[in-house]
Amino acid sequence: MNYSQNPTLTSGLVLNVLEIIPAKDNLQVFKTENKSKSIKEYQNDNSEYYFYSEGLNVYAWNIIENPQIPLSADFKIMNITHKENTLVSSFITLLMKVDYIRL
């Protein structure tokens, strides 16, 4: 089949995101309990961080290497693993892939 004749098919290499093995076992993130603040409010107050909410916890990690705006004092640094925090680490990995593709 000639790919150029069928606009729904593409040729080339495709990255299988399910086969990516992270270089690190632990990810360092910030965590706090959600105190009735929405994720949008966190993002508006801290534009240099990504936020993810899981249950009563809010996780944050910086978008840039050295953020100029510090997070509030109720965010504590913690290490997470993919095995123990699958949803959070998967979301972080997804956003890192999206940022990589934007470059």
- For 22-46, how does the pLDDT look when each residue is reduced to its tens digit (9 = 90+)? 667 788 899 999 877 888 998 898 8
**Model confidence over 45-96: pLDDT tens digits?**
888 998 988 888 999 988 888 888 888 888 999 998 878 887 888 777 777 7
CA distances from residue 16 to 30, 80, 87 in whole angstroms, order as listed? 29, 24, 19
Residue ranges of domains in the chain? 25-102
Contacts for 29 with CB less than 8 Å, ≥ 6 apart: 59, 60, 61, 77, 78, 79, 80, 88, 92
Would you place residue 5 in the very low, low, confident or very high pLDDT band (cuts 50, 70, 90)? low
